[in-house]
Amino acid sequence: MRKRLLTIAALAAALVTALAITAIATATSTVHLHATLIGTNEVPKAPASNRGSVQVTLKPTTGKVCWKFTITKIDGKGTAAHIHKGKPGVSGPVYIAFGTTFKIQGCTTAPKSKINAVAAKPSAFYVNVHNLKHLGGAMRGQLKAGM
């Protein structure tokens, strides 16, 4: 029984250490994410022909969030873009705004806690692009690790 308790304690200590190392690595490294943007991913749906992609770079130590969109087609000029908190098929609140107007490429600042949350679980967040025809969003995609 004592041996079992010691084994459990050692495993718990190893888990805590691993989580601490992961947290430190996330807080100090640059994180690269991407998303494929499609109109039919939006809620409510926008045209399937609205398509593009985005690369997002998170820099937790400096509080910077940078992005670069590649828009294949959109049925109107982009007016805004954001990272939202939400699962696929569910509209969520704006979590990090990519500036006040739509830009294909740029950087902004955000609270480090928000940047770390996106870095820790990118699939819990999505990026979308809004336009005047689709105020709720013209295209959207869940974030994934990597470029």
In the chain, what are the domain boundaries? 30-145
Cβ atoms of residues 114 and 136 within 8 Å: no
Average pLDDT estimate for 19-35: 66
Report the pLDDT value the prediction gives residue 146, as an integer from 0 to 100: 85
Report the pLDDT value the prediction gives residue 147, as an integer from 0 to 100: 75
The answer to whether residue 26 scores a pLDDT higher than 60 is no
Burial 72-84 (b: 16+ CB within 10 A, else e): eebeeebebbbbb
CA distance linking residue 121 with residue 115, whole number of Å? 10
The answer to whether residue 16 scores a pLDDT higher than 70 is no
- 70-96 per-position pLDDT tens digit: 999 999 999 999 999 999 999 999 999
Q: Which CATH number fits domain 30-145: 2.60.40, 3.30.1330, 2.120.10, 1.20.120?
A: 2.60.40
- 56-75 per-position pLDDT tens digit: 999 999 999 999 999 999 99
Q: With cut-offs at 50, 70 and 90, classify the pLDDT of residue 2.
A: low
